[in-house]
Amino acid sequence: MLSSNNITCMVPTRDSSKAKGFYEGVLGLTVESEDQFALVLRAKNLTVRVVKVAELTPQPFTLLGWDVENVAESVSKLAGRGVVFERFAGMEQDELGIWTVPGAGHRVAWFKDPDGNLLSVSGA
């Protein structure tokens, strides 16, 4: 029923100005609008609605991720813009912080937005 409709992803923030600086300035998403409730951004075929909240407890799982053609290249570019990549105990991550899924060849690297929401880039 909904498979032919666009999807909007919701991401919470306590500080919309920091979120805007990160999602627009660092990640390069396009701002479509902003009001008292949310900052609305566009990433290719997805709308990201950064919802303004009073309280926020970041979750330990990935909230938003990007499929990229080259994970190492994306990680290097983001690191050059000040993004710090997460390291997780028990996971073999390379020098850039990229984990390769055993037996699959799929690669993932995680980072956080200013509110501590866990984000990722993944692919080959």
Q: Give tens-digit pLDDT for 31-68.
A: 999 999 999 999 988 999 999 999 999 999 999 999 99
Residues 6+ apart with CB under 8 A from 76: 96
Can you read off the two tokens belonging to residue 61?
């799982």
State the pLDDT at residue 119.
98
Q: What is the pLDDT of residues 2-41, one digit of tens each?
A: 999 989 999 999 999 999 999 999 999 999 999 999 999 9
Confidence tier at 99 by pLDDT (50, 70, 90): very high
Query: Would the pTM count as exceeding 0.75?
Result: yes
Residues 98-119, mean pLDDT to the nearest whole number: 96
Catalogue all structural domains in the chain, each as residue range(s) with its CATH number. Answer: 8-123 (3.10.180.10)
Can you read off the two tokens belonging to residue 64?
């938003």
State the pLDDT at residue 107.
97
